[in-house]
Amino acid sequence: RHADGVVGMKTALARTYPKAHFQRCLVHVMRNICAKVRVDDREKIMNEFKQVHQQTNKEEATAVLHDFYTKWGKVYSHVIRSLKDIEPDLLVFYNYPKQIRASIYSTNMIESFNNVIKRKAKPKAEFPNEQSLDTFIGIQAMSYNERYFNRIHKGFGQVQDTLESYFD
């Protein structure tokens, strides 16, 4: 599972899916960093932080992340403190095959579905009650699943045997 910092999400997921791994969405982490640094530093900081998810393995990524802390810690101590607090959730994607890491460290797939819901709900202006909204979202989810049921997301077909071995 992965998330973008929703309060209580990690705890709820751990309670419901105790064996699931938790990954922060690095795209959202980068957006949060951007919002907290000077405009003049944003491009440089983003280019350096992106190196975290472009390494060969978790050890190299950890070294890059710690170098990032050292370089920017004096100027942006609040940003670095926040990153250190969530560090265990930043590099979980390195536990998986390289072909699917990008799908794990971002919430793009989830956001794509959310955009479908928004687009289909927009013409409705409002729903008469919560039950009608629940029904609408349920129908959209079933329709989305039907449409993409046989689709294999980028990289997952190449590593299907590896992923299946995780559950033996």
- Same domain, yes or no: 18 and 58: yes
Range of the domain at 31: 2-104
pLDDT at 151: 76
Question: Residues 62, 64, 70, 75: is their CA dihedral positive or negative?
Answer: negative
Cα distances (Å, whole numbers) of residue 162 to 102, 103, 145 = 17, 16, 24
- Same domain, yes or no: 18 and 85: yes
pLDDT at 37: 97
* Rounded Cα gap, residues 113 and 115, in angstroms: 5
- Same domain, yes or no: 62 and 117: no
Q: Which of 63, 88, 104 is the last residue of a domain?
A: 104
Closest CA to 156 of 92, 104, 94: 104
| Tokens (6 digits) for 85 | 């607090």
| Tokens (6 digits) for 153 | 């997301």
- Same domain, yes or no: 23 and 66: yes
Phi, psi of 39 (to 5 degrees): -55, -40
- Same domain, yes or no: 24 and 64: yes
Q: Which of 104, 125, 157 is the last residue of a domain?
A: 104
pLDDT at 5: 56
Per-block mean pLDDT, blocks of 10 residues, the chain (168 long): 64 90 91 96 96 96 98 97 95 93 82 83 83 90 84 80 80
2 SS3 class: strand
- Same domain, yes or no: 55 and 115: no
* Rounded Cα gap, residues 76 and 9, in angstroms: 26
- Give the residue ranges of DSSP H helices in 73-157: 77-86, 101-105, 108-121, 130-148
* Rounded Cα gap, residues 118 and 104, in angstroms: 23
pLDDT at 2: 47
Q: Which of 51, 74, 104 is the last residue of a domain?
A: 104
- Same domain, yes or no: 9 and 61: yes
Closest CA to 88 of 6, 167, 10: 10
* Rounded Cα gap, residues 92 and 90, in angstroms: 6
* Rounded Cα gap, residues 53 and 164, in angstroms: 24
- Same domain, yes or no: 97 and 160: no
